[in-house]
Structure 1
Amino acid sequence: MTDTATPPVHATTGKALHLGWALVLISMAQLMVVLDASIANIALPFIGNDLNINDANLTWIVTGYALAFGGLLLLGGRLGDLYGRRRVFMIGLAVFAIASLLGGFAQNEALLLASRGLQGLGAALASPAALALITTTFPAGPARNRAFAVYAAMSGAGAAVGLILGGWLTGLDPVLGLEGWRWTFLINVPIGLVAAFLAPRFLNESESHPGQLDIPGAITGTFGLLGLVYGFSRAGEEAHGWGDTWTIASLAAGAVLLAVFAVVESRVAHPLLPVRVFANRTRATSFLVMALVPAAMFAMFYFLSLFIQLVVGYSPLHTGFAFLPFSVGIVIGAGLSSNLVNRIDPRFIAGIGTLMAAVALFGFSRLEVPTGAADLLAVTQDNFLGDGVNYWSSIFPFIVLMSVGMGMVFVPLTLTAVHHLRAEDSGIGSGVLNTMQQVGGALGLAILSTVSLQAADGTKTDLFRDLVAQGATPDQAGSLAFLGSFTEGATAAFLVGAGLIAVGSLATWLFLNVKHEELATDGPEGGVHVG
């Protein structure tokens, strides 16, 4: 197979590239980018107290990063194609590190929020370039499959690692006079700068095509995606929802701008997003499924982490460790699928993985806690509503099933999404894949948050009435009614999430037609039939 092929050579030194170190750099960058979406979540109350940020603006610490990251991914991917992927990868890492430094030392709300947006920019430059560098650095076949397995494991495990690391760092006593939450940002600085410094030693530069940047496409595409990501994020918040004026305006503006973007792309000589990227059925299916699966997975992290803390009563750090099996499981699933994809068609691996994930979400939808008024009134600081929920029998098995399934989905679908792309399209192909994940995650969380709120509303009203009738004050009844109705809303969201993944599974079985033998070949599409 291709393991016996001549190893790639460094373009400057003429020496064989050390693929192991190349993979370490790329994986380190991807893990840093992904975990930063969740590492600050647990620190939010501490940040709010220290910098005097109100609850409404506090959410922008998370939303600002997601907005810049998701909105700029297409542009970041194309810039790598045009100006050199290694160069853009290094710039992205440097920007991310500098932004993290600013965030870590921020003394006010404005600087912290600006640093999160700047982090999103750095991530949008580095992430698609990292994926494209795997395609151009590692020879097709087992070596590339293993590299994609590590990349997929870092992408999938990042959210769980972020929760654990965020919980631990936030709980630290001040180090060098700096509060623990500041280290959730500062930890990125040495990692990003070291990775950027070592990149020229272990990674080749790609051919550049300066002067071909599609400015109108970049403007309409970027602002269109920003509108959608912001609208979906706002729709998922209880304070705003789908009927909010700014939610509707943002989604409408995003849709109009993306329609203009599509017109622009059909008429320019060097489009930001060439239509040919979507022309292949297998690749288009990969993009679709990689939007549906993260939509359910991100929502799983959101609702399950709240359930474990609010209902079962785990501390933030304990909650982070409750997700540790997810990180282990996705590594196992990714390793398994990277070996199987050399012998089995990706349709079967990803198809089984999606079914496993759907079953896991269905399992979460069966979580039950006592929600009568008497049970709620018995809740105290030391007695939680979900005390009867056994983590090892009710949660752990489904976390493992979900994570192994995700590992079996991400590796083959990442391979099929970028396989046989033209060399000049590798960056934008990677950008599209990352964009689908980010936009899919934002849309999924918005939809499932709406499902959760709708399912919980009736129960919440009834519980509030019963609690007041049994002597609870209105404030006490309101908080306890929310707690009692939360599980009903979360389980409804899990059930719909299982349905989303089932749709992705159906698309995988029906339309993902590439053969495993074809994944061991290089070259642009056209030379090999890819379905």
Structure 2
Amino acid sequence: MEKQHESSVPNPTRLLVSLCAVLMLSVMNGTMFNIAVPDIAKTYQLMPSEVSWVMTGYIMVYAVGALTYGKLADFYPFRTLITVGLTIFAVGSLFGFFAQNYGMVLVARVIQAVGGAMIPALVFLAPIRYFPKTRGKVLGIVSSVMAFASGIGPIAGGFIAGFLDWRYLFLTSALIIVTLPFLRRNLPQEETNKGYIDYIGAALIAGFISTLLLGITLGIPWIFGLTALFFFSNLWRMKAIEEPFIPPHLFKNIKYRSTIITSFLSITCLFGMMFMLPIMFRDTYQLGTMAIGLVLFPGALSAALMGQKGGNLVDSKGNTFVLYLAMTLLASGFFLLSMIVGANQYIVSATIIVAYMSFPLVQASSADILANLLDKKETGVGMGVFNLLNFVSGALSGAVIGKTLDLFDPARPLNWLGFNGDTAIYSNIFLGFSIIILLSLGQFYLFYNRKSLALKKAASDY
């Protein structure tokens, strides 16, 4: 599909507003239900392992769907994909509102995920296709909306479930359909392009991701055997046919690979922080749901404010500069948190801002780097892999941190500047995050710049 330009968009500003609105509602839908899980369990008399499927099933389908829609975007018009995706999402939301049993709730969440997975896939592709001159700025805005929505989702979910009923979360999500006319009005007309889609390869990737997430979330070892089977079957498939679902040469590109690894590890730590903070404030600071939301709100707001400035920096200073800046802030923020966890809750809330504000910087800069590396015919699948790993990172970080909190309860933190007592385990996790970020930054510097470093060395030797 030929690259579109800003002039082909009827109204770029309105399109951007519509994209941000639909992304806001989509991300909030995912995070709102976190807060409602105990209420759903109480309604249907469920064990924790049973009710966890409300989130597990959604994430599984969402992750695979994000990659699939990215691939489809290389061939089908955005108008068509957005219309289909939002319609399916709204149908699933209404089905959930009228659900009569837990089975119907799970079906509703799966239907939501089938449609909703389209949103992040296309929202991150839209700046590349329709805003080529201000791509960095627009990616920054999109990333800030995603970070802000992740922060206020639990607050909105707690308010709706507390004052009405958890079923109204489905009804709130159905409101996303109101954005469809605005999106269709502001998206340009495009033609469907012919192309081959490897559906068998897509099924193998879906099996690999699904079993991986199941193994992580349920903690059942034998499931990882199936994961390995799907993984090696997919490797064979990628070599056996001419046009596999994910072109293997994507990962042979050392710059693409190092950027994907850096983004994955960064987002894993950020999602891990978002998962852990409510638990920490509840267990060690004895805060209620609304109080936790208010303590986290400044961080979410800082991410929203930083996004546009970070996007401008991408356009003016370059994407690698912003990524280095974001990773430095992130490592510093996690290290500071490992020092002050256990202090007054408002001091912790202020320190969280340093890490939170890095969220849109990491996403905007890494997405812009990948867009520059990808051939225009593979932008959809290349960015689809980016979105896929973002959602896998959320499931992975939640499962690993949950197990860590279950198994360890140290009295002293590894950071000698930290507080002793109940918060020591959280201090250790934040310190671990800081180390992971530094290692990720090191591998990006080493591999992304390998060719230029080799040329400099050759020049100095000469």
TM-score, with structure 1 as normaliser: 0.77
Question: More displaced, 52-61 or 299-308?
Answer: 52-61
Q: Residue type matched to 1:312 in 2?
A: Y
Shift of 1:70: 1.5
Shift of 1:367: 4.7
Give 1:300's match in structure 2, choosing from 252, 267, 273: 273
Corresponding residue of 2:385: 432
Give 1:253's match in structure 2, choosing from 215, 219, 226: 226
Shift of 1:234: 2.5
Shift of 1:98: 1.4
Q: Residue type matched to 2:179 in 1?
A: A
Counterparts of 1:357 and 1:420 in 2: how far apart (Å)? Answer: 24
Deviation string, structure 1 residues 148-188 (Cα, Å, up to 9, x no partner): 1111112222221211111111221x4xxxx2x22222112
**Structure 2: stretches of 5+ with no match in the other structure:** 412-419, 451-462
For the Cα contact (< 8 Å) 1:309–1:319, is it kept in 2? yes
Deviation string, structure 1 residues 272-324 (Cα, Å, up to 9, x no partner): 11123334333222211121011111111122111112221221112112111
Shift of 1:332: 2.7
Give 1:358's match in structure 2, choosing from 294, 313, 331: 331
Give 2:366's match in structure 1, choosing from 397, 410, 413: 413
Answer yes or no: is 1:130 the counterpart of 2:126.
Answer: no
For the Cα contact (< 8 Å) 2:208–2:230, is it kept in 1? yes
What percent identity do the matched residue pairs reach? 22
Name the SS for the 1:36 alignment partner.
helix
For the Cα contact (< 8 Å) 2:26–2:173, is it kept in 1? no
Counterparts of 1:222 and 1:146 in 2: how far apart (Å)? Answer: 33
Counterparts of 2:266 and 2:321 in 1: how far apart (Å)? Answer: 16
Counterparts of 1:94 and 1:277 in 2: how far apart (Å)? Answer: 32
Give 2:82's match in structure 1, choosing from 84, 89, 112: 89
Answer yes or no: is 1:155 the counterpart of 2:146.
Answer: yes
- CA 1:486–1:35: 2 relative to 1, 3 Å: farther
- CA 1:216–1:454: 2 relative to 1, 3 Å: same
Q: Residue type matched to 2:33 in 1?
A: A
Answer yes or no: is 1:232 the counterpart of 2:216.
Answer: yes
Counterparts of 2:153 and 2:209 in 1: how far apart (Å)? Answer: 25
- CA 1:257–1:199: 2 relative to 1, 3 Å: same
For the Cα contact (< 8 Å) 1:347–1:512, is it kept in 2? no
Shift of 1:420: 4.6
Report the structure, 1 or 2, having the larger helix content.
2
For the Cα contact (< 8 Å) 1:38–1:159, is it kept in 2? yes
For the Cα contact (< 8 Å) 2:258–2:443, is it kept in 1? yes
Counterparts of 1:506 and 1:220 in 2: how far apart (Å)? Answer: 33
Q: Structure 1 runs of 4+ off > 4 angstroms?
A: none
Corresponding residue of 2:460: none
For the Cα contact (< 8 Å) 2:320–2:369, is it kept in 1? no
Deviation string, structure 1 residues 402-434 (Cα, Å, up to 9, x no partner): 122223222111111222523332221221111
Corresponding residue of 2:304: 331
Corresponding residue of 2:168: 183
Name the SS for the 2:377 alignment partner.
helix
Shift of 1:210: 4.5
Counterparts of 2:70 and 2:231 in 1: how far apart (Å)? Answer: 17
Counterparts of 2:286 and 2:54 in 1: how far apart (Å)? Answer: 25
Counterparts of 1:328 and 1:450 in 2: how far apart (Å)? Answer: 30
Corresponding residue of 1:391: 345
Counterparts of 1:32 and 1:512 in 2: how far apart (Å)? Answer: 35
- CA 1:205–1:281: 2 relative to 1, 3 Å: farther
- CA 1:47–1:289: 2 relative to 1, 3 Å: same
Answer yes or no: is 1:75 the counterpart of 2:28.
Answer: no
Question: More displaced, 351-360 or 217-226?
Answer: 351-360
Counterparts of 1:411 and 1:293 in 2: how far apart (Å)? Answer: 13
For the Cα contact (< 8 Å) 2:63–2:117, is it kept in 1? yes
Corresponding residue of 1:46: 39
- CA 1:497–1:87: 2 relative to 1, 3 Å: same
Counterparts of 1:355 and 1:510 in 2: how far apart (Å)? Answer: 16
- CA 1:102–1:278: 2 relative to 1, 3 Å: same
Corresponding residue of 1:240: none
Corresponding residue of 1:501: 437
Larger Rg computed on CA atoms: 1
Counterparts of 1:7 and 1:348 in 2: how far apart (Å)? Answer: 26
Shift of 1:438: 1.3
Q: Residue type matched to 1:487 in 2?
A: T
Corresponding residue of 1:378: none
For the Cα contact (< 8 Å) 1:451–1:492, is it kept in 2? no
Counterparts of 1:346 and 1:83 in 2: how far apart (Å)? Answer: 29
- CA 1:50–1:127: 2 relative to 1, 3 Å: same
Corresponding residue of 1:321: 294
Corresponding residue of 1:171: 162
Q: Residue type matched to 1:185 in 2?
A: F
- CA 1:86–1:418: 2 relative to 1, 3 Å: farther
Corresponding residue of 1:381: none
Name the SS for the 2:35 alignment partner.
coil
Corresponding residue of 2:8: 9
Correspondences of 1:380-529 after superposition (within 5 Å): 389-393=343-347, 395-456=348-409, 487-513=423-449
TM-score, with structure 2 as normaliser: 0.88
Corresponding residue of 1:204: 188
Correspondences of 1:337-376 after superposition (within 5 Å): 337-367=310-340
Counterparts of 2:278 and 2:74 in 1: how far apart (Å)? Answer: 38
For the Cα contact (< 8 Å) 2:201–2:238, is it kept in 1? yes
Counterparts of 2:242 and 2:193 in 1: how far apart (Å)? Answer: 13
Corresponding residue of 1:522: none
